[in-house]
Structure 1
Amino acid sequence: MKVIKFIKSKRVATLLMVGVLLGACSDFIDINADPNNPTDPQLALLLPATQLSIVGNFNTINRGASNVIQHRAAGGLNRWDQTGTTFQATWLGYYTQAIPDLEQMITTGTEQESWGYLGIAKLQKAFLYGMMVDLWGDLPYYEAAKSANPRFDSGEEIYSDLLKLIDEAKADINKGFSVVPSSDLIYQGSREKWIKFANSLKFKFYLQTKNVNPTASAQGISALLAENNLIDSNEDDFTFLFGSSPAPETRHPWYTTGYSPSRDGYVSMVLHDRLKEQDDPRLRYYIFRLNEKAGLANSQVGEGYYGRYPGDGAASPADQQTRAIVGIYPSGGVFDNGMIPSIPDDQGLLNNIGATTGASANSFRLVLFANGDGTGAGIQPLLTNSMMKFYRAEAALTLNTGENAGELLTQAVAANMEAISALSPAFPISSASILRFNERLLGEFEAASPEDKLALVMMQKWIAMYGNGVESYNDYRRTGLPELVELISPLDVFPQRFFFSETELTSNETVIETREQLQRNQQIIPVFWSR
């Protein structure tokens, strides 16, 4: 048994356990040290274990989705290619760590009438399974963690049950709420924030399924808007905060690979092009240039934005010290304060005011450590204020909810820019810049046709969702927006769903005989809510 001492600080608490995310969650909660005198699982230990497992196993699917949706440019899914091992670690992690622990929390919480822990466990279960259905479609649900050969349930049936589960969770929480604050790494035992999360998750599910049953979605969303208790502030964000320790490793996974000597893939030139084209100050926060003269194909005639376009299958040259890497958002990397020769020095929102020549060289990165940057203490946004505003704007445009889509659009962008600034206190995006950006954006929105209004909302959401490719992958399959760039050299068709774990298909007797067709169907058959 590992003895863990929790600290009240949200960020510090994460430091204690991230190092055991993928391999020792079961050890962490192994409190039955004496088999002759078993004790009940301690809910205050199970809760952080589930949260760490959900986030710790999210990275692989997030990277895959980020490559599919052109936020990044690396790996097989940059060319739409996947195998039975691509997401196997995540699948096994969820089914052997997170899900059994959540079921144990639900069982123990029910027995002990610990309504706060019980409600949180049900909400996390709803969030996790909803995400898994979005990515894999049909999967084990009712028999998961209960059978060695669980049957696969339909994604649509699972979604329906998850909506009921959210209502159950709210009812449990309203019976009484007592949670050790330091055991809750997300909301520190805040009943109010968990209720907002519950309503927001339900909103997300209704919006996600609006193509299947628009009437039910419109009614459900209208009821939630009338209740008026959704995530409505960045303080309410369902976001995980990483730490800055390399031993044990607690840093953001994009930081640990991007800032390592071997690097990790390439930044997306599609992301760069779109940010630069719309004079977006977020470019300096999303991408950090290691060599301000590097260009495509490792040339020395560029501006440092050396990345790749989607589907580029060329071999990687010796370019670890010249390719651009992820910036301060969301990974806790470095803000790029270097000169960008092709933009005006003092005009526009993306400008060179205060920029330093040579600022994007490796040596300058060390200077920023004194300001708290470049530590890997980034964030993993999962369900945020910015996302909720984008949801509401989309609902206003497509379900006639009566809200002002233009106002919600600008609020969503502002919330995203403010979240970025919170990670970069030494170089925040100014309130004046946010206002100017949104004034221009709102003017463009008001002049657009209804169809173009939705396209504009989804493009801005795609930009804001950098760091959560799963969300944009869902958006694209649901709306077809924003338009993706044609791949240079695809290896397959666009992946409608992620491949199942090969281990699951070769060990679960309910699917062994049909595993080859099941796997191929993942690539070509849309998830039930897809347009």
Structure 2
Amino acid sequence: MKNILRIFILASFISLTSCESFLGDNVNPNSATSATPELVLPNALTNTGNLLLSYHASAMWINGYTVNAGGYGGWGATVTYNMTTTSYNGLWASTYDDLINYQYIEETTAEDPSLAYFNAVAKTMKAFDYAMLVDVFGDVPYSEGLKGAENVTPAYDSQTVVYQDLVEQLTAAIDIFTTATGANGLGSADVMFGGNITRWAQFANTLKLRMLLKMASSSETSSFAATQFAAMNTSVGFLSVDATVNPGYIATDGKQNPLWQRYHSNAAGSLSGSGRSAIPSIFTYGFYDGTKILDTGRGAATYRSFNSNTPVGQLGNLVDNPAALASQTAWFVGSGSGASATATNGLLKGRTADFPILLASESYLLQAEAYLMGYLSGDDQDAFENGIYASFRYLHEDMTGAIIANNGDDYDLNDGYELYMEENPSNYLVNYSLASSTEEKLEAIITQKYVALNFVNGHESWADFRRTGYPKIVNGSADPKLSFASILSSSPRADKLPIRYLYASSEFQLNPENVPTGIDQFSSLIFWQAQ
């Protein structure tokens, strides 16, 4: 925790203490000793985007989105799942770094009604970060976790208790967003919604919905979830637009869209090693090429050389997997290469594109599940179809908001959606009305979320798989069309997959009295997981 506090101070240019020389006042006017919430918030939101990318980038190797390309070595635990306590040190530390930013905002605005919206944003984003942390680590330092130097050996709180309190914090945030009077606007500090408080309330409500659906899956928290669903303020609504951050990305290394920087190229145009060493899995590609679902519209907007020359393979195949495309990552569908790669639609839209935090497609599909299961009142089929439509919209929208095809022509979303239905006339995973049971409808919803979050949020779709078992795989199968588990897996589980991450080695060094022991990546379940 000492390292966390130090990194936070350096990252946010905030010092929580000041000192004076014994020679007298020795203040450097060019060195900040404090910062306002207005200055900290844009940095915190930008860091959250980078943090989410880290969660996504680690999970997408487990949930089937990416596999190792040929010609690259050093895969180790990526293909064997033999994780160690050093595997996720950075993820653990970075999460707490970001959380301390929001804690600072929350504490410094708590008694100032004029900054109520900043307080509510901090509550919301703390829930966002902590939920991700719990989803892969389980019990975490929470009640004592953000006290910095006051407590560098914080106790661990039960994951169920943490989730319950996060939901209550979201409720408090929503109440502030919807009832606060006399509060200053967020202004330019809000690099996610541009100061739109209604969208912040809907974002918090959507995040709350995501968490309650997980809690409803567990006997430990299902009663709490039921009570919260009954009291949910549905008049606030849920996200119908994509929640994205953009602090003003520019074509400079370290200041580009982080997805582009990591998987396409640096500002000079040199191709990213991360983008070159990863290729799509045969399993996931099957939801586009007709193996499981035919999806020519989103397939062409997701993969370069779709259905003809996209390199696809199987995780752990170190011999037969093809190499990545020679001049591009498989997820870039634009024109040009290197520094002249042209911004376009798809997933890697451009160097200065917004970074996705929570897509409207996920929001609609969360609603579909809640309506299907009777947790909330609504039309599950309508929400399901809206989720698919929103996914088409996200993939075909360029940085200017124009809806385009890969060749730059206008793209008609209605035509694209209708074609998708026509391509799959008897497939209940696409045509929801064909699903004959609640279980088939749930499978359709989670499968479509898996497709919508492809290469956007591997962390959340991996959570869905662990919670519901969808998208469906055949346990133990070595056929890459039937399972996304690595063929070099060391997992003793029937599905041959891991189910969580191990605690950071830094915790065993700095907080040995409190960090849980005996945790196993193949058997220590997160509370909302199925067996």
What TM-score, normalized by structure 1, do the two folds share? 0.78
Q: Using the TM superposition, give the Cα deviation of residue 438 of structure 1 relative to its aligned residue in structure 2, in angstroms.
A: 4.2
Tell me, yes or no, if structure 1 residue 55 matches structure 2 residue 55: no
Q: Deviations over 1:325-370 (max 9, x none)?
A: 342xxxxx4348xxxxxxxxxxxxxxxxxxxxxxxxx669957459
Q: In 1, distance between residues paired with 2:327 and 2:284? A: 15
2:188 match:
182
Q: Using the TM superposition, give the Cα deviation of residue 118 of structure 1 relative to its aligned residue in structure 2, in angstroms.
A: 1.0
Q: In 1, distance between residues paired with 2:344 and 2:214? A: 43
Tell me, yes or no, if structure 1 residue 252 matches structure 2 residue 241: no
2:302 match:
286
One-letter amino acid matched to 2:420: F
Q: In 2, distance between residues paired with 1:88 and 1:418? A: 36
1:298 match:
none
Q: In 2, distance between residues paired with 1:444 and 1:315? A: 36
Q: Deviations over 1:451-488 (max 9, x none)?
A: 22221221111100111011101101111111231532
The one of 32, 36, 46 aligned to 2:40: 46
Where does 1:441-480 land on structure 2 (aligned, <5 Å)?
444-450=431-437, 451-466=439-454, 467-480=456-469
Q: In 2, distance between residues paired with 1:47 and 1:164? A: 22
One-letter amino acid matched to 1:269: I
One-letter amino acid matched to 1:500: Y
Q: Deviations over 1:383-421 (max 9, x none)?
A: 332112111211222236442222211110001111112
Instruction: Confirm or deny: 8 A CA contact 2:301 2:345 kept in the other structure.
Output: no
2:416 match:
433
The verdict on how the C-alpha distance between 1:258 and 1:267 changes in structure 2, with shifts beyond 3 A counting, is farther
The verdict on how the C-alpha distance between 1:192 and 1:487 changes in structure 2, with shifts beyond 3 A counting, is same
Tell me, yes or no, if structure 1 residue 158 matches structure 2 residue 157: no
Q: Secondary structure of 2:110's match?
A: helix
Where does 1:89-128 land on structure 2 (aligned, <5 Å)?
89-95=90-96, 97-113=97-113, 114-128=115-129
Q: Deviations over 1:46-79 (max 9, x none)?
A: 1112212222222222111111110111453454
The verdict on how the C-alpha distance between 1:232 and 1:363 changes in structure 2, with shifts beyond 3 A counting, is closer
Q: Which moved more, 1:409-418 or 1:181-190?
A: 181-190
Q: Secondary structure of 1:275's match?
A: coil
Instruction: Confirm or deny: 8 A CA contact 2:432 2:444 kept in the other structure.
Output: yes
Q: Using the TM superposition, give the Cα deviation of residue 267 of structure 1 relative to its aligned residue in structure 2, in angstroms.
A: 2.0
Instruction: Confirm or deny: 8 A CA contact 1:134 1:527 kept in the other structure.
Output: yes
The verdict on how the C-alpha distance between 1:399 and 1:370 changes in structure 2, with shifts beyond 3 A counting, is closer
Q: Which moved more, 1:472-481 or 1:237-246?
A: 237-246
Q: Secondary structure of 1:288's match?
A: coil
Instruction: Confirm or deny: 8 A CA contact 1:310 1:487 kept in the other structure.
Output: yes
The verdict on how the C-alpha distance between 1:27 and 1:454 changes in structure 2, with shifts beyond 3 A counting, is closer
One-letter amino acid matched to 2:104: Q
Q: In 1, distance between residues paired with 2:224 and 2:7? A: 41
1:413 match:
388
The verdict on how the C-alpha distance between 1:50 and 1:119 changes in structure 2, with shifts beyond 3 A counting, is same
The verdict on how the C-alpha distance between 1:311 and 1:505 changes in structure 2, with shifts beyond 3 A counting, is same
Tell me, yes or no, if structure 1 residue 202 matches structure 2 residue 208: yes
1:325 match:
329
The verdict on how the C-alpha distance between 1:248 and 1:254 changes in structure 2, with shifts beyond 3 A counting, is closer
Higher helix share: 1
1:85 match:
86
The verdict on how the C-alpha distance between 1:326 and 1:109 changes in structure 2, with shifts beyond 3 A counting, is farther
Q: Which moved more, 1:374-383 or 1:104-113?
A: 374-383
Q: Secondary structure of 1:276's match?
A: coil
The verdict on how the C-alpha distance between 1:371 and 1:365 changes in structure 2, with shifts beyond 3 A counting, is farther
2:3 match:
none
Q: Secondary structure of 2:245's match?
A: strand
Instruction: Confirm or deny: 8 A CA contact 1:417 1:434 kept in the other structure.
Output: yes
2:314 match:
309
One-letter amino acid matched to 1:208: K
Aligned length: 460
1:506 match:
509
One-letter amino acid matched to 1:54: T
One-letter amino acid matched to 2:206: S
Q: In 1, distance between residues paired with 2:294 and 2:411? A: 13
The verdict on how the C-alpha distance between 1:459 and 1:180 changes in structure 2, with shifts beyond 3 A counting, is closer
Instruction: Confirm or deny: 8 A CA contact 1:70 1:271 kept in the other structure.
Output: yes
Instruction: Confirm or deny: 8 A CA contact 1:136 1:499 kept in the other structure.
Output: yes
Q: In 2, distance between residues paired with 1:199 and 1:27? A: 29
Q: In 1, distance between residues paired with 2:208 and 2:18? A: 42
The verdict on how the C-alpha distance between 1:494 and 1:430 changes in structure 2, with shifts beyond 3 A counting, is same
One-letter amino acid matched to 1:393: A
Q: In 1, distance between residues paired with 2:377 and 2:176? A: 32
2:289 match:
276
Q: Using the TM superposition, give the Cα deviation of residue 129 of structure 1 relative to its aligned residue in structure 2, in angstroms.
A: 0.8
The one of 218, 229, 234 aligned to 1:221: 229
1:14 match:
none
One-letter amino acid matched to 2:500: R
Q: Using the TM superposition, give the Cα deviation of residue 25 of structure 1 relative to its aligned residue in structure 2, in angstroms.
A: 6.8
Q: In 2, distance between residues paired with 1:215 and 1:261? A: 47
One-letter amino acid matched to 2:298: R
Instruction: Confirm or deny: 8 A CA contact 2:117 2:186 kept in the other structure.
Output: no
Instruction: Confirm or deny: 8 A CA contact 2:240 2:364 kept in the other structure.
Output: no
Q: Secondary structure of 1:228's match?
A: helix
Q: In 2, distance between residues paired with 1:138 and 1:270? A: 32
Q: Deviations over 1:282-307 (max 9, x none)?
A: 11222224xx9xxxxxxxxx932212
1:67 match:
61
Q: Using the TM superposition, give the Cα deviation of residue 374 of structure 1 relative to its aligned residue in structure 2, in angstroms.
A: 5.9
Percent identity among equivalent residues?
20
Instruction: Confirm or deny: 8 A CA contact 2:435 2:441 kept in the other structure.
Output: yes
Q: Which moved more, 1:181-190 or 1:209-218?
A: 209-218
One-letter amino acid matched to 1:170: I
The verdict on how the C-alpha distance between 1:193 and 1:78 changes in structure 2, with shifts beyond 3 A counting, is farther
1:375 match:
350
CA RMSD in angstroms, aligned pairs only: 3.2
Unaligned runs of 5+ in 1: 1-21, 293-301, 328-332, 337-361
Q: In 1, distance between residues paired with 2:444 and 2:180? A: 43
1:490 match:
489
Q: Secondary structure of 1:209's match?
A: helix
The verdict on how the C-alpha distance between 1:120 and 1:39 changes in structure 2, with shifts beyond 3 A counting, is same
Q: Secondary structure of 2:356's match?
A: strand
Instruction: Confirm or deny: 8 A CA contact 1:267 1:325 kept in the other structure.
Output: no
Q: In 2, distance between residues paired with 1:416 and 1:316? A: 29
Q: Using the TM superposition, give the Cα deviation of residue 161 of structure 1 relative to its aligned residue in structure 2, in angstroms.
A: 0.9
Q: Deviations over 1:158-206 (max 9, x none)?
A: 0111122112223444333323411111112222111112222221121
The verdict on how the C-alpha distance between 1:410 and 1:320 changes in structure 2, with shifts beyond 3 A counting, is closer
Q: In 2, distance between residues paired with 1:117 and 1:54? A: 16
Instruction: Confirm or deny: 8 A CA contact 2:50 2:258 kept in the other structure.
Output: no
The verdict on how the C-alpha distance between 1:285 and 1:378 changes in structure 2, with shifts beyond 3 A counting, is farther
Q: In 2, distance between residues paired with 1:107 and 1:374? A: 37
Unaligned runs of 5+ in 2: 1-5, 21-26, 69-74, 266-270, 474-482
One-letter amino acid matched to 2:451: I
Q: Using the TM superposition, give the Cα deviation of residue 314 of structure 1 relative to its aligned residue in structure 2, in angstroms.
A: 4.1
One-letter amino acid matched to 1:61: Y
